[in-house]
């Protein structure tokens, strides 16, 4: 089983995270931010990952530090769980509909962490959740995980639906990219 356990404690957050890439899509999520809990629960389900996240953060300030640091922890766990990356598909992509929202997500487990995000939310908030934290979360995840991740909104009018499509699409693309499909390292360089 490809899995990793991460603990991260700063003056702003205290996070414990467990990830199994070859899971059943189970999520036990408690970030202190209801909407982020919802997004990470469906991320686990649609990626086929088992994910446990506990976070105590300074959400009295706002959700920024928690969202960013959880992204760092999840990216770090993803990289650790992949190990030497021998046999992985490396690439994954999907165009995912969520009601009126349509999002393209594409992942390359390249060793080069980069987020290219073109998602415009029509509102600044979804409940108490600041929509700009979606990009902050995935930027931290991609950097820490060494993953090139493209997220592009093709259509959408409802912020909740757009965010769901982004998290579900990213999970599906990452699940496909992390899948073991062979016995070789998918790189002519000999390293990822």
Q: Please list the pLDDT of the chain residue by residue as tens digits (192 residues).
A: 899 999 999 999 999 999 999 999 999 999 999 999 999 999 999 999 999 999 999 999 999 999 999 999 999 999 999 999 999 999 999 999 999 999 999 999 999 999 999 999 999 999 999 999 999 999 999 999 999 999 999 999 999 999 999 999 999 999 999 999 999 989 988 888
CATH 3.40.50.1000 fits domain 3-178 = no
| H or E element in which residue 8 lies | strand 3-9
Domain ranges in the chain are: 3-178
Verdict on whether the full-model pTM lies above 0.75: yes
| H or E element in which residue 134 lies | helix 132-145
List Cα–Cα distances, 117 to 33, 107, 120, 139, 140, in angstroms.
Answer: 22, 12, 9, 9, 12
What's the rounded Cα separation, in Å, for the pair 107 and 113?
10
């Amino acid at each position: 089983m490809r899995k990793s356990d991460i603990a991260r404690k700063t003056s702003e957050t205290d996070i414990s995270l467990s990830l199994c890439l070859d899971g059943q899509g189970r999520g036990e999520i408690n970030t202190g931010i209801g909407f982020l809990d919802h997004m990470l629960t469906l991320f686990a389900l649609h990626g086929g990952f088992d994910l446990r996240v506990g976070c105590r953060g300074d959400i009295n300030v706002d959700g920024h530090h928690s969202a960013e640091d959880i992204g760092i922890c999840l990216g770090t766990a993803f990289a650790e769980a992949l190990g030497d990356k021998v046999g992985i598909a490396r690439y994954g992509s999907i165009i995912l509909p969520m009601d009126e929202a349509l999002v393209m997500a594409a992942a390359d487990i390249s060793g080069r962490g980069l987020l290219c995000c073109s998602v415009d939310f029509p509102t600044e908030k979804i409940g108490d959740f600041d929509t700009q934290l979606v990009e902050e979360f995935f930027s931290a995840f991609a950097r820490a995980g060494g993953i090139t991740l493209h997220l592009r909104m093709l259509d959408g009018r409802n912020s909740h639906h757009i965010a769901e499509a982004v998290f579900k699409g990213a999970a599906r693309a990452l699940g496909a990219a992390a899948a073991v499909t062979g016995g070789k390292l998918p790189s002519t360089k000999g390293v990822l």
